[in-house]
A = this chain, B = another copy of it.
């Protein structure tokens, strides 16, 4: 096991009817900016529940944060925060809204060009405190310190992280899952599954607690997926999906292990260049990452095959092939197509991603083993 430091201060308030608890966890006397997305919360009842809980608080609203939240949109919110002296941010939405709100928190007091927060991975010395009401289990943003921000003007997508942007609290009411469209649930299931993969499918450095926990989250996602994807999922299925998605990226499974994240970095480029949904990009890329990096990840792929899918028959190479196949079939079972050609993306996209990584000098994968040449091979595998 590697040496590590771990601290996750976010308070989770989980369960039926918990949105009403907002009022017990916020302080009166400071101006709150409530952020949200395209307005789905106005249709599914979440907006009304939040507004009711916020009666008597000083609240302004900032709606319209788009999927893959855009730098220019968020800078409008930053300007309002500065002008109106906002002291607390309340994100009501999924990963995009929460990520965008983390950026706002990091930018309001930032001296300099706010784009540096993404390119230099820095923040203001004092970030605004933020909290969230989660409406879409997927990214884990409700209980971590990371965010991914896009800039449509330049077709770029970057992440940043800081202990200063952990939500103070997050409210997770699984009943919000009832009204999520099927393709969004599918994306969320794929996204959270691959969050676990990025922290697990690396090299085996003898970390059994972390490995069993990662496998436990993945098995839960696989078993829960068909129950969540039906039109009227039951409460337990929604609750288990929601908690699994949070545990997939709250860093509980990753202390002391090596991490990969190359599938995410490649996926971000596919979103930036082709506008594909985040979860879809990951489902496209991962089978390629596994196939191209099969030697380096051999021990862990074998562990994964056995402990997640129960695959034990055959030679090591056959088991690895079966594990890759089972992984891709799982994504397809969610209704996600897993080839670049399914989305009319081809060689020119691969070349552009290769060139971008070359130009930026991006280092990918555990120990930097996913070279730019490997990225090209991974994407060629996914044509």
- Chain B CB within 8 A of A371 CB: no
Q: CB within 8 Å of B: which of A229-262?
A: 236, 239-240, 243-244, 247, 252, 255-256
A1 CB contact (under 8 Å) in B12, B240, B252: B240
- Chain B CB within 8 A of A362 CB: no
A219 and B5 alpha carbons, distance in the complex (Å): 24
**A229 CB, min distance to chain B CBs, angstroms:** 17
Q: A243-B255, A247-B209 are in contact. Are A5 and B1 (CB under 8 A)?
A: no
- Chain B CB within 8 A of A355 CB: no
Q: CB within 8 Å of B: which of A120-174?
A: 169
Chain A: residues with Cβ within 8 Å of the partner, total of: 42
Q: Which residues of B contact A219 (CB under 8 A)?
A: 208, 212
- Chain B CB within 8 A of A179 CB: no
- Chain B CB within 8 A of A18 CB: yes
Q: A12-B255, A252-B252, A256-B14 are in contact. Are A240 and B5 (CB under 8 A)?
A: no
A15 CB contact (under 8 Å) in B2, B224, B236, B252: B2
Q: Is the interface of A mostly helix, strand, loop or mixed?
A: mixed
**A245 CB, min distance to chain B CBs, angstroms:** 10
**A2 CB, min distance to chain B CBs, angstroms:** 7
A215 and B244 alpha carbons, distance in the complex (Å): 16
Residue contact B224 to A217, C-beta cutoff 8 Å: no
Q: Which residues of B contact A239 (CB under 8 A)?
A: 1, 256
- Chain B CB within 8 A of A3 CB: yes
- Chain B CB within 8 A of A207 CB: yes
**A342 CB, min distance to chain B CBs, angstroms:** 31
- Chain B CB within 8 A of A315 CB: no
